[in-house]
Chains A and B, each alone.
Chain A
Amino acid sequence: MTTTTYRQAMREALRDALRRDERVFLMGEDVGRYGGCYAVSLGLLEEFGPQRIIDTPLSESAFVGAGIGAALGGMRPIVEIMTVNFSLLALDQIVNNAATLRHMSGGQFNVPLVIRMTTGAGRQLAAQHSHSLEGWYAHVPGLRILAPATVQDARGMLWPALCDPDPVLVFEHGLLYNAEGELAADAPVVDLTTAAVRRPGTDVTLLAYGGTLRTALAAADDLAGEGTSAEVLDLRSLRPLDTATIVASVQHTHRAVVVDEGWRSGSLSAEVSARITEEAFYDLDAPVARVCAAEVPVPYAKHLEEAALPSPGAVVEAVHHMAA
């Protein structure tokens, strides 16, 4: 086991994929000479050359479209969109082409495309650079949505995502790149379809993904100090959701709090809550609670940004509220 960062784990995943399969290539804004806006692809241009590590113009619709075309043509493209905020410029390509071509062609064409993007707030990047739009994409039939929250998942999710015959979006929370974790040299292939219990508990289930996993784990620590045993579930796959694991956890804790950095209305937390109600209604001792971002453009000022985002304290408060 070696200690590594999320960034290094993701870079190692890219390197591994590029070595394994000649059809794999990476393209996006500044991924080559600059090494990536978040330095994820640093050094890959030198190692794999400009045919496989390709800097693109600032034109998300065009380079995601090029990725779709390359995937249709038999390649295995990895497209990096610098952040989810810019992905809206490519939304038409993602929703109307990548996600639907298999259906529109009667199953004749599939789009084995992986799109990576940074997501989330917390770095004082203000309203236009702090979105968490995972829920938007998780609404779209035809896409698989992944949210690696650990070093192990950052290392392990990319290859199986590339093996998926359909488009996969990978959301990497910007605050995680410097997070450290232990990684085995022969890291096993991870399963893309299941949620994972990151901390077992008996009194309440905290459901989180991506950047909010840390929030939930911190809240669980605080709750443990009060004698409340919180189970923390990492959703990992946001589409499809692993409803069975979610329900199994709630069936033994009888209480659930969903922690989601997206705006509350119409968020992934709503879908998780709705599914828990549908599948485990008679096991619930209290309504499913949601701790989400405030429904405002994410503020620039540090204290306001902190106030707008889900915090461990807000999660603890939600648990107190349902116990009352």
Chain B
Amino acid sequence: MSAVTMVAAINAALRDAMDGDDKVVVFGEDVGRLGGVFRVTDGLSDRFGPQRCFDTPLAESGIVGLAIGLAIRGYRPVPELQFDGFSYPALDQALNQLAKYHSRSGGLVDLPVVVRIPSFGGIGSPEHHSESPETHFAHTAGLKVVCPSTPGDAYSMLREAIECPDPVVYLEPKQRYWTREEIDLPLRTEPMDQAVVRRAGDDVTLVAYGNAVATAMAAAAEAEVQAGLAVEVIDLRSLAPIDVDAVVASVEKTGRCVVVHEAPRTLGIGAEVAALVQERAFYHLEAPVLRATGFDTPYPPARLERDWLPGVDRVLDAVQAVWEQ
């Protein structure tokens, strides 16, 4: 066992996948010579050569389009879009081609593409570098969307995503890049479409993913200290599809649910989770499902982001609100 960072875990997953299958190729802006702006692809170009890990122009639509073409010809491309806010130029390719080609070909063609996107805020970067783009991908029929919150999951879920015959959007919580976990690589955790319980409790269910899992865990610990509440924390891991059974099983036990995410509240993943929970567990609910989220504004400048992001206080306010109803 050693303390592995999420960056190192993702790097190892890419390396191991490339070792195991020479059809796996990695490309994107600065992923080759530089090794990625977050060092995620460090050493891959040296190890596998510029045919399998290479730099692209700053053209996200082209990057995803290239991945689609390569996948049609039998490759397993793992393109990187350098930042969340840069994903928008590629969304036409993602929605109109990547998400549809399997169906449009009558099931003849698989597109085993994994689009990696360093995502979310909390690292002192401004707008365009701190967005939460998951709603756009999760709403797109034909795409799977996953988001690890730990180094072990980051490794396991990326390996699984690369093995998946269908396109997967793999969101990397960059604020968690340098967190460490004692693990032995390679490892496999739960299947990537399953949510997991990070902390068990009977009083309130917190549902989170990505950076927000750590916030939810801290809030759960604080709620226990402050109010003696046993808060269960569910890490969604998969945003499309959502493992609604896991969430409902928890809410049937607790009767109370708060969803935590960084994305602006309106039409965030929290809306879908809240809608699903009340559809499936309405008669178990003791209080309305609440949301502790980012505000409905563009991402703020760095000096304001701590106030903008949903922190422990915002989560605790929501926990208190559902508990007291």
Residues of A within 8 A of B (CB): 61, 85, 88-89, 91-92, 95-96, 99-100, 103-104, 127-128, 131, 135-136, 138-139, 141-142, 239-241, 262-263, 265-271, 273-274, 277-279, 281, 284, 286-290, 295-297
The CA-CA distance from A262 to B275 in the complex, in Å, is: 15
The answer to whether B139 and A88 have CB atoms under 8 Å apart is: no
The answer to whether A270 and B272 have CB atoms under 8 Å apart is: yes
* Docked complex: B59-114 residues within 8 A CB-CB of A: 61, 85, 88-89, 91-92, 95-96, 99-100, 103-104
Given the interface contacts A96-B128, A273-B275, does A103 sit within 8 Å of B298 by beta carbon?
Answer: yes
CB neighbours of A279 from chain B (8 A): 288
* Docked complex: B253-309 residues within 8 A CB-CB of A: 263-264, 266-272, 274-275, 278-280, 282, 285, 287-291, 295-298, 300
CB neighbours of B140 from chain A (8 A): 263
The CA-CA distance from A103 to B100 in the complex, in Å, is: 35
The answer to whether A297 and B99 have CB atoms under 8 Å apart is: yes
The CA-CA distance from A296 to B143 in the complex, in Å, is: 10
The answer to whether A266 and B138 have CB atoms under 8 Å apart is: yes
- B136 on the interface (CB 8 Å rule)? yes
The answer to whether B297 and A141 have CB atoms under 8 Å apart is: yes
Considering the complex of A and B, which 9 residue pairs feature the smallest CB-CB distances, nearest first? Answer: A266-B139, A139-B267, A281-B288, A287-B282, A88-B92, A274-B274, A273-B275, A92-B88, A270-B271
Q: What are 24 contact pairs spanning A and B, CB under 8 A? A: A96-B88, A99-B298, A103-B300, A104-B127, A127-B103, A128-B100, A136-B136, A139-B135, A139-B267, A141-B266, A141-B295, A141-B298, A266-B138, A267-B139, A271-B266, A271-B271, A273-B271, A278-B289, A286-B282, A287-B280, A287-B282, A290-B275, A295-B141, A296-B142
- B192 on the interface (CB 8 Å rule)? no
- B146 on the interface (CB 8 Å rule)? no
The CA-CA distance from A89 to B141 in the complex, in Å, is: 18
Closest to A269 in B: B275
How many contacts between A and B, using CB within 8 angstroms? 137
Residues of B within 8 A of A (CB): 61, 85, 88-89, 91-92, 95-96, 99-100, 103-104, 127-128, 135-136, 138-142, 240-242, 263-264, 266-272, 274-275, 278-280, 282, 285, 287-291, 295-298, 300
Closest to A279 in B: B288
The CA-CA distance from A274 to B289 in the complex, in Å, is: 8
Task: Give B229 Cβ to nearest chain A Cβ, in Å.
Answer: 20
The answer to whether A288 and B139 have CB atoms under 8 Å apart is: no
The CA-CA distance from A276 to B113 in the complex, in Å, is: 38
The CA-CA distance from A263 to B267 in the complex, in Å, is: 13
Given the interface contacts A103-B297, A278-B289, does A263 sit within 8 Å of B103 by beta carbon?
Answer: no
CB neighbours of B240 from chain A (8 A): 265-266
The answer to whether B92 and A89 have CB atoms under 8 Å apart is: yes
CB neighbours of B89 from chain A (8 A): 61, 91-92
> B275 touches which one: A100, A139, A274 (CB < 8 A)?
A274
CB neighbours of A269 from chain B (8 A): 275
CB neighbours of B139 from chain A (8 A): 135-136, 262-263, 265-267
The answer to whether B298 and A297 have CB atoms under 8 Å apart is: no
Q: Known A-B contacts: A141-B296, A270-B274, A273-B279. Give 16 more (CB < 8 A).
A: A96-B128, A103-B127, A104-B127, A139-B264, A141-B297, A265-B139, A266-B135, A270-B267, A273-B278, A277-B278, A277-B289, A287-B278, A287-B280, A296-B142, A297-B141, A297-B142
Given the interface contacts A100-B127, A296-B103, does A265 sit within 8 Å of B241 by beta carbon?
Answer: yes
CB neighbours of B275 from chain A (8 A): 269-270, 273-274, 277, 288, 290
